[in-house]
Amino acid sequence: LFGLSSRQHRRIWLLLTALTQPAIILIDHGHFQYNTTSLGLALWSFHFMTLDVNPFLRESDNPAARNTSFLGPVIGSIFFSLALNFKQMELYHAPAVFAYLLGRCFRKKRGRLSSENSANNVDQQPSHIIAAVSRFISLGVTVILTFAILWVPFAITIQPPQDLLSFDIKVIYQI
């Protein structure tokens, strides 16, 4: 299939088989539930959240910047916010996602806790806390901005009905 390896060819066929499963097409799309869209966004978020490297840098670009990036969880939080806004079914996954991302914020880099560097680790404790808090704040800002971008157009266009207020006053005072 257009110069793809046998592994890539097999992966494409597995994907097409999963996407064209009759149960998904008839039940999910037939009843207009679109659960697969929400689950797909959630799967993309899980993929990016579990990345330890910057997904946009190649291995040859800058190995230090590629391995110390927190961009994967930030992108994952965007996708999870999109999934949550698409269908509230993703609230079932939200506690686990929150706990995982909180752990990623406060996780120390691998190889830092060796016995040779134990004296250096005490000195690096404040910088680790500052880095963890900045990661946590970056996730919070990302989620708030994603929700704001999605909900501000609705908040601007919705006008409270004026007749409802006058109806309440009429009922209370029996005008």
d(CA 137, CA 142): 8
> What are the angstrom distances between the C-alpha of 114 and each of 21, 111, 118, 155?
50, 6, 7, 52
Residue 25 DSSP class: I
d(CA 130, CA 136): 10
pTM value is 0.69
**Mean pLDDT by 10-residue block, N- to C-terminus, for the chain (175 residues)?**
76 82 72 81 92 72 65 94 94 95 83 45 71 94 96 80 57 57
d(CA 103, CA 82): 22
Cα end-to-end span (Å), the chain: 77
pLDDT for 114 equals 40
Which residues lie closer than 8 Å to 52 by C-beta, 6 or more apart?
67, 72
pLDDT for 86 equals 94
Residue whose structure tokens are 């800058």: 62
Which residues lie closer than 8 Å to 4 by C-beta, 6 or more apart?
12
d(CA 148, CA 155): 10
pLDDT for 171 equals 56
What ranges make up the beta strands (E) of the chain? Answer: none
